[in-house]
Structure 1
Amino acid sequence: MQKKYLIGVDLGTSSTKSALFTINGKKIAEFSVSVPIYYPQPGIVEQNDQDFYDTAAQTIQKIIQDSGIDPREIAAIAFDSQMAGIGMIDEHFQPAARFDSWLDMRCKPYIDLMDRDAGELVTRITGCPPTCDHGSKILWWKNEQPQIYQNTAKYVIPGVYVAGRMAGLKAEDAFIDYTYIHFSGFADNEKMCWSEELCSRFGIDRSKLPRIVNPWDVIGEVTDESAKKFGLAPGTIIAAGAGDTAANALGAGIVRPGMLLDVAGTASVLAGCTDQYAPDVKNRALLSMRSIIPGLWNPLAYIGGGGIALSWFKEQFYNTNRGKSLPDDESLYAEMLAATKNVTPGCEGLLFSPHLGGRICPSSAAMRGAWIGASWSHTQAHFFRAILESVAYEYAYYLEILRALLPNLTFSEARVVGGGAKGDLWNQIKADVLAVPYQRLQGKEFGSWGIAMVAGKAAGVIENLAEFAIQTSSLSGNPFQPIEQNIKIYHPIIQKYIHMENMLNSYFNQNI
């Protein structure tokens, strides 16, 4: 039977989403369900690997039923998943403990330990500074829960758990694809192998670390038992998959050096595309993630609550005294943006620091938000525009670091996705601050399509992932071109913003 379809599944923190596509990228069906998050104690955030498995089965079965297709026509399936959390399996490929979420901060003492003992070394070898990721979490389990550590055969991420269970793998077959290994704490990212130096330094048993594979490697096929639970045909190919950010970058067509991806969502993420490995040892702000495309890298950094800052302002300072007849969010944002258009670039000297819950890149948990430079002339619209501009200034800081690491890199365009991509004014501000054309994309399922393409390569129905990603990424309207006059206004303000953030970091971290 001819293979006509691909399935991409996104195993997110709060939901699992499955999507069915034709091989040329047309979406046929999608379905998502929420995934439980558990908070057993303050500071502890856990999930169940079995929940990922069950919700994947539920959503896959639903899209197949809704589409009415013959499951035998599905060429392959692949999973992307949240990246910085880590799970544990025993020798029977069953959970040895609950999944340790990226939101869980009990590992902080071991972040500090890694940073004190070998922070520069970890950053140089893994491409990521010590943070709340696999490395610090594994050390926590090793030292705080030695019995569970001993019972753990392999450490795995959610996509591996689901794919491995579907394929009936044994623990010795566990894997991790290379888009996750910057978060591992113990991998030589450039050589794509486990670092003997780092594992030895921190006393990690390398036998508990899974084999490193390519995203499109076939890790197995759907078993007869799994076929019944998922509604798939036995023997359907399962690809290794990739991290959710890497899948989004591929789905958005970020496959050529100099391209940028702006994920304007709850977190504000800016990822580049380069053909060189350039770890940010000096600033420890950029994370050097491997692109799904061989030979390319996606250095990235993000604001933990960039998008949340807008809704926070709306609720606390704009959506007040309106009685019971409150307009919807879209109307409120449109109203706020309309007022902001009359504010000149630079907000007449008003600057905002968007790190209301601490700074992520570089890590500074003590930092908080701030407005600097307020005067009698500033209106509500100035304060809102200052938030919009702050995200662009933070992005400019990331690009300044990237330019210093790779002086010959030229930025050609930024592609923007997420809820914030709808705002014309915000896109124009970012284009002006970064001096890069800003292009919206059609659709919103970039992660599930990106990982579905990986499944297509595994099945042999897609040959060149980079070219195919460019061909199937649909642009929405004309790009927002940088305005030369605004570039000149913003250029000196970027340096003021960077100086302000350095001062705020010192202020919030001083011991009084």
Structure 2
Amino acid sequence: MTAKQKDFLLGIDVGTTLIKSALFDLDGHMVALSSAGVGLEHPSPGWAEQDMDAVWRATSQTIREAVQAADQSGGKIAAISTSGQGGGMWLIDRDGRPVRKGITWLDGRAGEFFPDWEKAGIIEELDESTGYHTFPGVGPLLIFHWFKKHDPNILSKAYKTLWAKDWVKFKLTGVVATDESDPSNGHFLRGERQFSEPLFEMLEVKEYMHLLPPIVPSWQVMGKVNAEAAAETGLQTGVPVASGAWDVSSTGLGAGCIREGQTLSILGTAGIHLSVSAAAPQEKKAPYSACVHCVPGHWVVNSMAMTATSNLDWFIRESCQADKDDAERTGKNFFEIINARVAASPVGAGGVIFLPFLQGERAPFVKPNARGVFFGISDATTRGDLLRSIYEGVAFSARHNYEVIERAIPIREVVLSGGGSKSAVWSQIVSDCTNKPMTIPAGEEFGALGAALNAGVAVGIYKDHREAASHLSIARRHQPDTQNHALYQGYYEIYRQLIKNNWETWEKLAEIRNRRR
């Protein structure tokens, strides 16, 4: 395909609670963004479902608004792709209708089997075989088992199972397909790129493998917009749709992480850290997970902390009303006030160390009952010290996760994104603590951008992913301060020791807490 000056690429990000359609020009600049919320339903404790038709309605609404933006610019959409939440199970029948509500990655119903599977060594074998840490909502492999035991009639009605982004692609094209990145989370043998029969035999669900969709690589066209979708969205019929990717992989591409050793840290609600590898890691009892990247021939090694900026959100909500009042009274930006307080506190936050485990932890260690700790508070401690200790605690968590990832692949460079990266102070703290240079990319919506770049590669607008990523620009860079890093070394050692010291105490506290309920 020959690209024209007014061609656009449409990236659709099917998030857990928010759908976004972003329009990009061929240089990767976002031209328009439309978003719509979609709710989670919890019909039983631990379940997490979504109305598949509601997801499509929200998506079609955002697409229509993106199409209008393209029309107003006098251009056209040359190609489309999707990224989306991983895991779960989205069943359709032979008529393309949902069999039931979509099951999301947050769903825990398959967790009822985990005690028996753990005793039998099945969870350990799954982890070692796939290179991915198994959890209840990981995908159809485990969820098939639950329905086989509790509601097999649902599976008998199904024609295919999809991942969230694939449901949107199906509604656009009428074609059933997934990519490699989504099912590589727990459904492939280590280093392979196809569904593994032995895994489904292990879970006693081999008879349902016919429900799995065909695999089309992320950067290839899987179908074209059909007439029905065109009528609902305003798209032109025949627009190519590329296969897309799991949102974590797609975000890596959108942030420019396409070569070995390039690492993305997303300081959002959670702390997501991933590094690109040219080979599948072979460590069997690895503390990290690995999946197929949406860039040909590459994998992503990831370690995902439970929290990052949510620690700051909690502290602001509970302890920063005076700063909010000050911002309203003076017209100052609230976060500028917060960052100024952090900058005024010295390296080490006046001797206060924060453990950022408000919701337990999943990486680089698994400890659901871990909780947050402020250690070292004195009568000289200021609000700025507490704030800085939160920034530093999240940076210590990043360093801890980097150490895990570097068991598989040396980290060459780090791209920092997410809400935390908007703070130059926080970005510098992460650089100093980890002793890694930090690059802050320009723009936003990197998951949707990664989808758009895959679409561009699929139709030949870009020769390859390297050319696609070459258009991305940098907002700023941070180099580690060697003196600050030396100071942080001692604090980091105490941080690690505090985790060890509290390991059993967290369990005792949880026991007492649960006793009171």
TM-score (norm 2): 0.90
Q: Distance in 1 between matches of 2:433 and 2:67?
A: 45
Q: Which residue of 2 aligns with 1:498?
A: 496
Q: Please, which moves more after superposition, 4-13 or 498-507?
A: 498-507
CA offsets per residue over residues 36-64 of structure 1, 9 Å max, x none? 22233443221111122222211111111
Q: Which residue of 2 aligns with 1:402?
A: 405
Q: Which residue of 1 aligns with 2:17?
A: 14
Contact 2:166 2:178 in 1 (8 A): yes
Q: Which residue of 2 aligns with 1:191?
A: 192
Q: Which residue of 1 aligns with 2:173?
A: 167
Within-5 A mapping of 1:427-438: 427-438=427-438
Question: What RMSD in Å do the two structures reach over aligned CA positions?
Answer: 2.5
Contact 1:110 1:136 in 2 (8 A): no
Q: Distance in 2 between matches of 1:93 and 1:112?
A: 36
Q: Match of 1:148, SS?
A: helix
Q: Match of 1:194, SS?
A: coil
Correspondence 1:141 to 2:147: yes
Contact 1:72 1:232 in 2 (8 A): no
CA offsets per residue over residues 406-459 of structure 1, 9 Å max, x none? 4xx2x3321112221111111111101111111211111212121011111221
Q: Distance in 1 between matches of 2:260 and 2:329?
A: 43
**CA shift at 1:393, angstroms?**
1.0
2:100 to 91, 97, 112: 97
Q: Which residue of 1 aligns with 2:293?
A: 291
Q: Which residue of 2 aligns with 1:423?
A: 423
Q: Which residue of 2 aligns with 1:158?
A: 164
Measured at CA, do residues 456 and 44 of structure 1 come closer, stay the same or move farther in structure 2, by a change above 3 Å?
same
Correspondence 1:226 to 2:229: yes
Percent identity, please.
27
Q: Match of 2:367, SS?
A: coil
Q: Match of 1:436, SS?
A: coil
CA offsets per residue over residues 119-151 of structure 1, 9 Å max, x none? 332222222111132143333233232221332
Q: Distance in 2 between matches of 1:72 and 1:425?
A: 40
Q: Distance in 1 between matches of 2:33 and 2:193?
A: 34
The code of the aligned residue for 2:390 comes to: I
Q: Distance in 2 between matches of 1:231 and 1:483?
A: 52
Measured at CA, do residues 337 and 186 of structure 1 come closer, stay the same or move farther in structure 2, by a change above 3 Å?
same
Q: Distance in 2 between matches of 1:297 and 1:421?
A: 24
Q: Please, which moves more after superposition, 299-308 or 131-140?
A: 131-140
Contact 1:163 1:238 in 2 (8 A): yes
Correspondence 1:383 to 2:405: no
The code of the aligned residue for 2:453 comes to: M
Q: Distance in 2 between matches of 1:112 and 1:231?
A: 50
Contact 2:8 2:70 in 1 (8 A): no
Measured at CA, do residues 497 and 145 of structure 1 come closer, stay the same or move farther in structure 2, by a change above 3 Å?
farther
The code of the aligned residue for 1:123 comes to: D
Within-5 A mapping of 1:110-125: 110-116=113-119, 117-125=121-129
Q: Which residue of 2 aligns with 1:315?
A: 317
Correspondence 1:237 to 2:240: yes
Contact 2:303 2:404 in 1 (8 A): no
Contact 1:79 1:163 in 2 (8 A): yes
Q: Which residue of 2 aligns with 1:128?
A: 132
Q: Distance in 2 between matches of 1:458 and 1:506?
A: 52
Contact 1:110 1:139 in 2 (8 A): no
Q: Match of 1:261, SS?
A: strand
Q: Distance in 2 between matches of 1:328 and 1:298?
A: 46
The code of the aligned residue for 1:158 comes to: A
Measured at CA, do residues 325 and 272 of structure 1 come closer, stay the same or move farther in structure 2, by a change above 3 Å?
closer
CA offsets per residue over residues 245-300 of structure 1, 9 Å max, x none? 1111111101122222121212221211222322664353x221222112222212
Contact 2:49 2:101 in 1 (8 A): yes
The code of the aligned residue for 1:499 comes to: Q
Q: Match of 1:508, SS?
A: helix
Correspondence 1:277 to 2:289: no
Q: Distance in 1 between matches of 2:219 and 2:132?
A: 24
Q: Distance in 2 between matches of 1:277 and 1:106?
A: 30
Contact 2:360 2:371 in 1 (8 A): yes
**CA shift at 1:18, angstroms?**
0.9
Q: Distance in 2 between matches of 1:251 and 1:327?
A: 39
The code of the aligned residue for 2:172 comes to: M
Q: Which residue of 1 aligns with 2:515?
A: none
Correspondence 1:78 to 2:55: no
Q: Match of 2:366, SS?
A: coil
**CA shift at 1:334, angstroms?**
2.0
Q: Distance in 1 between matches of 2:82 and 2:492?
A: 39
TM-score (norm 1): 0.91
1:26 to 17, 26, 29: 29
